[in-house]
Structure 1
Amino acid sequence: MPEQQKPSVGRIVHYVSYGTPGGEYSSQCRAAIVTGVPEGALPVVDDAHAEEWDSDAAVVDLCVLNPSGVFFNRCAQVEPEDPADLPHLGGTWHWPERV
């Protein structure tokens, strides 16, 4: 997660859907609104508390906006920083790409 951006209630992010096991529906990025940031869910940025986190994982609660309706996802983890050319991981969130 880039240091300059921190998730907060009301921010727009992308949630990555899982898709279906049979491939009828592929994994897709969906718009989502951050509805909560659970206490202690963000990485601690000072070195004195770095041992409390083993990664840059940030967990948020989301309202995911789908073409067929909305659903709520509690405790969705941020996508790993370095997916490079890999597809996005289902069940994670990330900041929208610049276009």
Structure 2
Amino acid sequence: MDPQAPSVGRIVRYVSHGTPPREDGSQAHPSKTRAAVITEVHGPTEVGLAVFNPSGFFFDQHVMQDETGTAPGTWHWPAWVMAA
């Protein structure tokens, strides 16, 4: 399968930063994966996003792709879900 190319309007997943780590390494609010829509494309792995949270939404520019889905402040494609 060919890799997907980002384009305006596509749905992706965004990994939030969470709150800064405490001295013991814990976080008050850990990183979470959120739904996002691509609002601009800067290159094959860099986009602008409208990120949707339960309490509202925010815009972020120049967000880099990370297909591991683990790096805070990055985006990745949703997993493919096959119909049963």
User: TM-score w.r.t. structure 2 length?
Assistant: 0.81
Q: CA RMSD in A?
A: 1.7
Superposition deviation, residue 98 in structure 1:
3.0
1:51-70 matched pairs, under 5 angstroms? 58-70=45-57
Q: Which structure 2 residues correspond to residues 5-84 of structure 1 after superposition, within 5 A?
A: 5-21=4-20, 22=22, 23-38=27-42, 41-42=43-44, 58-79=45-66, 81=67, 83=68
More helix by share: 1
Q: How many aligned residue pairs are there?
A: 76
SS at match of 1:72: strand
Q: What runs of 5+ residues in structure 2 fail to find an aligned partner?
A: none
Structure 1: 5+ residue runs without aligned partners? 43-57
State the match for 2:79 in structure 1: 97
**TM-score (ref. length: structure 1):** 0.70
- List 4+ stretches of structure 1 deviating above 3 A: none
